[in-house]
């Protein structure tokens, strides 16, 4: 294992041996855009821990589930989009929590400076109850 910037990196031969795959398979995954190992100045591939996690997902999909490489690419892209959307939802929930924690006082202050003065109850149309119909 090579060290670079305090992180551990693995050469292609070590990764291939660890996962019982041919180095050409790793090169194929890189050509297909499924893995993106870093490179040394001498152009040697170096696989990080994150690359190995990605490789484990790829191998699980291909070996265990029989997914082809085009399917793996779609699944990995969908996972990235889901993670991005989850981050957006988390950010929105944090915003909502902050707004709620500001309390009613702030709400009343905002209402007093609004262009249209109205109470929250004015915004809801009340429908008079129906009288029971006689049969």
Could you tell me whether strands 7-11 and 2-4 are parallel, antiparallel, or unpaired per DSSP bridges? antiparallel
pTM, full prediction? 0.67
pLDDT at 116: 60
Q: At what angle do helices 23-31 and 49-59 cross, to 10 degrees?
A: 90
pLDDT digits (tens, 9 = 90+) for 72-116: 999 999 999 999 999 999 999 998 888 777 776 666 676 667 666
- For residues 32 and 46, the answer to whether their CB atoms sit within 8 Å is no
pLDDT at 124: 58
The distance from CA 35 to its chain's CA centroid, rounded to whole angstroms, is: 17
pLDDT confidence tier of residue 27, bands split at 50, 70 and 90: very high
> Starting from the edge strand earliest in sequence, which strands make up the sheet with 38-39, in order?
2-4, 7-11, 45-47, 38-39
């Amino acid at each position: 294992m090579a060290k670079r910037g305090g992180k551990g990196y693995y050469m292609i031969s070590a990764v291939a041996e660890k996962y019982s795959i041919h180095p050409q398979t790793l090169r194929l995954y890189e050509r297909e855009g499924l893995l993106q190992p870093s490179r040394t100045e001498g152009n040697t591939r170096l696989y990080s821990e994150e690359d190995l996690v990605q490789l484990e997902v790829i191998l699980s999909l291909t070996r265990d589930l029989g997914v082809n490489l085009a399917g793996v690419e779609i699944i990995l892209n969908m996972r990235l989009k889901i993670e991005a959307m989850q981050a957006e939802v988390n950010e929105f929930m944090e915003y909502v929590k902050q707004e709620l924690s500001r309390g009613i006082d702030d709400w009343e202050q905002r209402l007093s400076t609004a262009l249209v003065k109205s109470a929250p109850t004015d915004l809801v149309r009340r429908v008079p109850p129906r009288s029971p119909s006689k049969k």
